[in-house]
Structure 1
Amino acid sequence: MSQYPTISEQLDDVETARTEGRRKMEWARQHMPILNALREEFERDRPFEGQRIGMAMHVEAKTANLVELLADGGAEVAITGCNPLSTHDDVSAALDTHENITSYAKRGVDDDEYYEAIEAVVDIDPTVTVDDGMDMVAAIHEDRPDLIDTIVGGCEETTTGVHRLRAMDADGALEYPVFAVNDTPMKRLFDNVHGTGESSLATIAMTTNLSYAGKNVVVAGYGDCGRGVAKKASGQNANVIVTEVEPRHALEAHMEGYDVMPMAEAAEVGDVFITVTGNRDVITREDFERMNDGVLLANAGHFDIEIDLDALSDLAVDQYEARDGVEAYELEDGRRLNVLAEGRLVNLASPIALGHPVEVMDQSFGVQAVCVRELVENGDAYDAGVHDVPDELDREVAEIKLAAEGVEFDSLTDAQTEYMGSWQHGT
């Protein structure tokens, strides 16, 4: 076992933290019917007996219920954070009390500590990995390739991680199978659209105590997450401007009724800027030079590279904390540009951030859980590389949710099924 300290070894008042963390987890659990249904199955069948699961995730109450679900299914689990500012220390401490869970996640670590904690998780010699951003997969391939032969597979939670994995796969460098959980309908249609949209806007509003009504909200990127941010901002009476590099997404945003323009133009009129691209240098020095006094800059992508903070620091003559979670950069001409959550994931890294709504993450984590089960039961069927989640697993999670909500739906008749699968029926 690693010598890196667990969260319980790092906190002064660990018992108080554990109590508060458990309270948060129990509240979330009341509103997670999918995980509760799977918990009954996993506690009965113990599908993960003998498995070691390494996880790098946003460690907060909803994630914690997924972690305990896997541990209650028989797995030994080690977990750390996937973002230096997204961990809730009390939840991490509560997880660390479970006999099958070791948590190394702590909020506010520096870069060295962040990667040391990932190394500590890898030291359990995982047979399954569960990632949010692909940092654990990268660490295993770079530092512990000796483990790859004993890893049955992995799951990746988020858009940025899937992009990185597909690039790794295209280079022939990904040496075990990983499910692209982010790309399933149950994740993409709900987590990305409703989860990112609602949680990002709510966190920005609570952090700043400002309204969106009548403001120009610039959404950089119109993928699933950007679509959700734009939709929710419009619903709060903002004037939404979209910037894009993909022509079809730009056209989609235009036909949804949003103003579409280059960032250089949006920079001159925007009041709130929210990046949702997963790419770097989305807002740059040239954009800062055009912005109005008092703008808000927030990132709802994954890593803290979408807003060029180095360039902003170079431009600033003063830098100070204007409000908890808001860093003001004062420029030579007196303009102040306000960066939320250090440019990191605003809905998870702000001081008051709670992440996506519980019901949304119940769906996403339900998909994660059944994907881990699939890897353990049928991992030999998957070659190294990125794999789409089998549709029947995604449907299983949807059906559990509908049953919990008391919603009934139709099924195809045999004749309809035969018709849909045939090429011989013409006009």
Structure 2
Amino acid sequence: MATTTATPNHVKNLDLADQGRKRIEWANQSMPVLQSIRKEFIKNQPLKGIRIAACLHVTTETANLMITLRDGGADVALCASNPLSTQDDVAAALARDFSIQTYAIKGEDNDSYYSHIMSAIDHKPHFTMDDGCDLVTLLHTKRKDALAGVIAGTEETTTGVIRLRAMAKDGVLGYPVVAVNDALTKHMFDNRYGTGQSTIDGVVRCTNVLLAGAKFVVAGYGWCGRGLAMRARGMGAEVIVTEIDPTRALEAVMDGLRVMSMTEAAKIGDIFVTVTGNKSVIRQEHFELMKNGAIVANSGHFNVEIDIPALERISSSKRPTREFVEEYAMRDGRKIYLLGEGRLINLAAAEGHPASVMDMSFANQALAADYLVKNHGSLEKKVYSVPQDLDKRVAKLKLESMSIGIDRLTSEQEEYLASWSEGT
């Protein structure tokens, strides 16, 4: 499975590679769909000669995607899509054992983060694989020299897709991009079940707080918010949802949850987690209302969902109290606790989504890459959804891996659904 060819890299410590490789192999056991695609890629070499620059969370699951792309013939360079999401042992193993250029260190500062993206762009990619659109943005701003060689790309997240659609609307997007996040087998499972479980994991790991009986405020009731609310409720928390969309708010009510404005929730909440994809969701006026000991975290892609500069302004002091926990002392004596610097708490303090759910997301990534390499010439410079046949193929492969069969339409049923003449 591995090679030992030296590659350019900037990782924390190559001596961590042995442990990283074991963890990559562990995750691979729970990714049967990606395994089957990898076998096809090895045989058919659909990405032969394609240079890929990937800006993703450097985790065990991502590692298996990178290995699949490499085994499909691609020349891959990987950088982190968030300063706190890298698993250093995984980065070391990719660089040392799998011949994948890797530029990622957990806790890297802002300059290093962007320097690593630049290193991935120096790879002169034909194809981009982004998680949040930072790599694509740099290609269209500071690194236009490398833009002409890019034929297509994919985007993993809700946040990134929002940015890409804005670029397409403004007529500046330089190549076609498939929004992997739009695949049903991505957002209905990864966002809901993955984010739900891994966010709770991150919050509990760094605080050891008891969720049972706590008032748990979920900001945003999209797929990530739905999953987070479901898991918090399952742990015994009293879940409160804040929303700006009336339909989603109504859905939360019908799901049996309390719904109110953030101003009202701020007064009573014990734990707050933002999952909206927007900025300044929790602001100064909310911090000023929070009770002593309130815990604030984010599981949206960027750390702008919490207005951290405002929290800094109104606090008299701050100090670390536990790993990934910063205590902010308010001038009136209250204390507010910020987790993971406001970054993705599920990756900052935990390991991110379980491999079995990322199996579907990264299967979509691999199949979308294959599709785009074959079809980019006929596509416009805009954002596309994952083709429905690929999406359904991922679902089918996942069911097969679980030894689950489903019904098929009979010829009579097919005829009935295709006709209009037969009524009551």
Q: TM-score band, normalised by the shorter chain? A: over 0.9
Task: Find out whether 1:103 has 2:102 as its counterpart.
Answer: yes
Structure 2 residue aligned with 1:383: 380
Question: What secondary structure sits across from 1:290 in the alignment?
Answer: coil
Query: Quick check: 2:202–2:348 contact (8 Å CA) kept in 1?
Result: no
Alignment equivalent of 2:405, drawn from 408, 417, 420: 408
In structure 1, the residue matched to 2:4 is none
Write the mapping of 1:216-255 to structure 2, written as runs, cut at 5 A: 216-255=215-254
Counterpart position of 2:52? 53
Q: Which residue in the other structure is 1:83 paired with? A: 82
Matched letter for residue 269 of structure 2: G
Q: Distance in 2 between matches of 1:373 and 1:293?
A: 52
8 Å contact kept, 2:8–2:101: no
C-alpha contact (below 8 Å) 1:184/1:389 kept by paired residues: yes
| Deviation, structure 1 residue 414 | 3.5
Q: Distance in 2 between matches of 1:390 and 1:381?
A: 14
- 1:306 maps to a residue whose letter is E
For 1:98 and 1:395, the matched residues in 2 are separated by 34
Displacement of 1:332 in angstroms is 1.3
Report the 3-state secondary structure (helix = DSSP H, G, I; strand = E; otherwise coil) of the residue aligned with 1:103.
strand
Q: Which residue of 1 aligns with 2:364?
A: 367
Question: Cα deviations across residues 311-358 of structure 1 (Å, max 9, x unaligned)?
Answer: 1111111201111110000111211100000000000112xx100111
User: Would you say the 8 A contact 2:301–2:344 is kept in 1?
Assistant: yes
Q: What residue is the counterpart of 1:293 in the other structure?
A: 292
1:113-132 aligned at under 5 Å gives the runs 113-132=112-131
TM-superposed deviation, 1:233: 0.8
**In the TM superposition, what is the alpha-carbon distance from 1:5 to its structure 2 partner?**
6.7
Select 1:355's aligned residue among 349, 352, 356.
352
Q: Distance in 1 between matches of 2:137 and 2:21?
A: 31
Confirm whether residue 135 of structure 1 aligns to residue 138 of structure 2.
no
SS of 2:359's equivalent? Answer: helix
Structure-2 change in CA distance of 1:116 and 1:424 (3 Å): farther
1:151 deviates by: 2.1
Q: Tell me the secondary structure at the aligned position of residue 141 of structure 2.
A: helix
Aligned to 1:204: 203
1:67 aligned partner: 66
The aligned counterpart of 1:182 is 181
Q: Cα offset for 1:97?
A: 2.2
Indicate the residue corresponding to 2:337 in structure 1.
Answer: 338
What SS class does the counterpart of residue 360 from structure 1 fall into? helix
Q: Match of 1:186, SS?
A: helix
In the alignment, structure 1 residue 7 sits paired with structure 2 residue 10 = yes
Report if aligned partners of 2:19, 2:89 keep a CA contact under 8 Å in 1: yes
Describe the SS at the equivalent of 1:97.
helix
How far 1:7 moved relative to its partner? 2.4
Following TM superposition, by how much is the alpha carbon of 1:380 offset from its aligned partner in structure 2, in angstroms? 1.9
Secondary structure at the counterpart of residue 318 of structure 1: strand
Quote the offset at 1:235 in angstroms. Answer: 0.9
Closer, same or farther: CA 96–411 of 1 in aligned 2, 3 Å: same
1:98, CA displacement in angstroms?
4.5
Q: Determine the C-alpha separation between the residues in 1 that align with 2:419 and 2:382.
A: 31
Count of equivalent residues: 418
Structure 1 residues 5 and 69, CA gap change in structure 2 (3 angstroms): closer
Scaled by the length of structure 1, the TM-score of the pair is 0.95
How big is the shift at 1:100?
4.2
Structure 1: stretches of 5+ with no match in the other structure? none
Q: CA deviation at 1:426?
A: 4.4
SS of 2:201's equivalent in the other structure is: helix
CA contact (8 A) 1:288 1:312 kept: yes
Partner residue of 2:305? 306
* Match of residue 394, structure 2, among 394, 397, 405: 397
Q: Aligned residues: percent identity?
A: 48
Deviations 1:282-324 (A, max 9, x none): 0111111110011110101110011111111111112011111
CA distance in 1, matches of 2:415, 2:134: 45
> Per-residue CA shift, 1:66-93, capped at 9, x if unaligned?
0111001110000100001110111011
CA drift at 1:116: 1.2
Q: Partners of 2:76 and 2:122 in 1: how far apart?
A: 11
* Runs of 5+ unmatched residues, structure 2: 1-6
User: 2:8–2:102: 8 Å Cα contact kept in structure 1?
Assistant: no
- SS for the counterpart of 2:162 is helix
How far is the alpha carbon of 1:99 from its aligned partner? 5.6
Judge conservation of contact 1:75–1:100 (CA < 8 Å) in 2. no
Q: Separation in 1 of the partners of 2:335 and 2:249?
A: 30
- CA RMSD of the aligned region, Å? 1.5
The 3-state SS of whatever aligns with 1:387 is strand
Instruction: Provide the rounded CA distance (Å) in 2 between the counterparts of 1:148 and 1:384.
Output: 13
Q: Partners of 2:394 and 2:99 in 1: how far apart?
A: 25
Cα 1:99–1:277 shift into 2, 3 Å: closer
Q: What per-residue deviation string (whole Å, max 9, x for no partner) do you get for residues 195-225 of structure 1?
A: 0011101211121111111110000001110
- Letter of the structure 2 residue corresponding to residue 409 of structure 1: I
Structure 1 residue 171 displacement after superposition: 1.2
**Separation of aligned partners in 2, 1:314 and 1:214:** 31
Counting only pairs closer than 5 Å after superposition, residues 164-183 of structure 1 correspond to structure 2 as: 164-183=163-182
